[in-house]
Structure 1
Amino acid sequence: MTLLNETKRLLRRYRIIPKKRLGQNFLVDEEILHKMVAYAHLNEEDTVLEIGAGLGFLTEKLAEKAERVIAVEIDDKLVRVLRKRLRAWDNVTILHGDIMKVNLPDFNKVVSTPPYSISSPLQFWLLDRSFNEAILSFQEEFARRLTAPVKSKDYGRLTGTTYYRADVEVLDVIPKESFWPPPKVDSLIVRLKPRKPPFKVIDEEIFFDVVRAIFTQKNKKIRNAIIPFFSRFRLSSKEAKKIADSLPFHDKRPRGLSPEEIGLIADEIVRKLQKIGLL
């Protein structure tokens, strides 16, 4: 029986209707599953996290290679399927809940086709975690944003934050027909490898907050886009404007600045706030 037929059979049996709002598109291409496992270079010492385990087809292949698999699934009915289908695998731990909220044991690799509805928050969540490598599938438009060049239409907060935290490599294309139900666009397999930041900033929290602030208003010049950032420090509009006007690149727009240049802006903000006793 093909994976597509088995997927349809299980969905019928457990009366599961894929939820569009949760981005439930099940990977039904055996070759792609094998590729994702191969890209991860798993061995018997690896503990692998799978986010959105679905019907467990990828989970089984991971369990064949890794010491332990932590399969997280939020959908009640899918958890029932997983617990029944994977009951023979004693190296698989199934966790029922939201990946952002469940209490996870340590893991060193991530291999997953996560729900597309959580791509952005998941990426930021992963960048705050400690692991060696992740092999993930994302919709093509989202994946391109991870590696977008400066000044391109896809360049933004996601690009800058990811660049600071990790190396990203696009490995392969997953045709939309490889999923059931098929999404509207193709997907990409991406390798994410955490690394030491390629440049230093004085305060990482301020840096990430500045990245968020300026790309929230990406069509404005820095001197205007950064003003709302200062509200937390209860600066008067006059004081905020004075700092904003003194920043490097204050006359440029966010999309035209490299992450390193944004780092220089963040560092200058830190120095200004320290000087007036607000940091």
Structure 2
Amino acid sequence: MGLLEETKRILYAYKIYPKRKLGQNFLVDGKALDKMINYASINEDDYVLEIGAGLGFLTERLAEIAKQVIAIEIDPRLIRVLTNRLRKYKNVTILKGDVLKVDVPKFNKVVSVPPYSISSPLLFWLLRRKFECAVLAFQEEFAKRLAASAGVKDYGRLTVSVYCHAEVDLLDAIPKESFWPIPEVNSMIVHLKPRRMPFHVENEEEFFDFIREIFTQKNKKLRNAISPFLTKVGIPKEEIIKVADSIPFNYRRARDLMPEELGLAFNELIKKLQDIRKTF
């Protein structure tokens, strides 16, 4: 029996109707699931995190190889399915809840087809943790944002934040017909490998505050886009224009600046702020 037929059989047996608001489109392409596991190079020493375990098709494959699988699922109806289907696997821990809120045990790899509705917050959550690699399936449009170049439509805060924390590889496309129910868009497998910041910034926490602020107005020139940030850090109104005009790339638009250029602008800005604060 193929995964599509098995999915329909399980849902019918448990009287489960997929919920659109939970992003319940189940990946029913066994080859795609196997590719994800291979891309993560899963072995018998790995502790693997899976977010949105669904009906357990990926979980089952992971459990056959990994030392431990931590499967997180928010839907209590699917928890019942997982508990019954994975009963024979002693190396599977099933956690009920929102991955952004539950206490997650240590893991070293992530392999997952997470609910697409949490893609962005999930990535920010994940990049604050230590792990070796992550292989995830995202909506194609979202995946392209992760690896976008400066100046293109998809480039933004998410792109810069991910670039600063991880190497990103866009791997295979997954056609929408590989899911059931069939969603409206195609998906893509993404490989993330954490790394240190590839360039120096004076203060990482403030740098990401800076990025957050300027990309809310990414079509404006940098000198204008940084005004809210300068106000937020307490720079007097009469100094804001002077500071904004003195930093590198001030007449280029935020969306056109590469991460390294944003880092240079930020470092120069920090020096200016330190000089101003000395006069307070």
How many pairs are equivalent?
A: 278
CA-CA distance at 1:16 after TM superposition: 2.1
Match of 2:78 in 1: 78
Whole-angstrom distance in 1 between the partners of 2:132 and 2:63: 18
Match of 2:31 in 1: 31
Give the secondary structure class of the aligned counterpart of 1:41.
Answer: coil
- TM-score, normalised relative to structure 1: 0.96
Whole-angstrom distance in 2 between the partners of 1:151 and 1:21: 33
Q: Give the 4+ runs in structure 1 shifted more than 3 A.
A: none
CA-CA distance at 1:19 after TM superposition: 1.8
Whole-angstrom distance in 2 between the partners of 1:183 and 1:43: 32
The reply on whether 1:268 has 2:244 as its aligned counterpart is no
Deviations 1:143-175 (A, max 9, x none): 111111111111111111111111111121111
Name the aligned partner's letter for residue 176 of structure 2. Answer: K
Name the aligned partner's letter for residue 216 of structure 2. Answer: T
CA-CA distance at 1:238 after TM superposition: 2.3
Whole-angstrom distance in 2 between the partners of 1:125 and 1:273: 30
Whole-angstrom distance in 2 between the partners of 1:197 and 1:149: 18
- TM-score, normalised relative to structure 2: 0.95
Give the secondary structure class of the aligned counterpart of 1:142.
Answer: helix
Give structure 2 stretches of 5+ with no counterpart.
none
CA RMSD of aligned residues (A): 1.3
Give structure 1 stretches of 5+ with no counterpart.
none
CA-CA distance at 1:20 after TM superposition: 1.6
Whole-angstrom distance in 2 between the partners of 1:235 and 1:201: 20
Q: Is 1:206–1:270's contact at 8 Å kept on the other side of the alignment?
A: no
CA-CA distance at 1:43 after TM superposition: 0.9
Whole-angstrom distance in 2 between the partners of 1:55 and 1:85: 8
Name the aligned partner's letter for residue 144 of structure 1. Answer: K
Whole-angstrom distance in 1 between the partners of 2:12 and 2:128: 38
CA-CA distance at 1:15 after TM superposition: 2.5
Whole-angstrom distance in 2 between the partners of 1:243 and 1:76: 54
Identity %: 62
Deviations 1:88-146 (A, max 9, x none): 11100011111111111111000000111111111111111110000110111111111
Match of 2:112 in 1: 112
Name the aligned partner's letter for residue 246 of structure 2. Answer: S
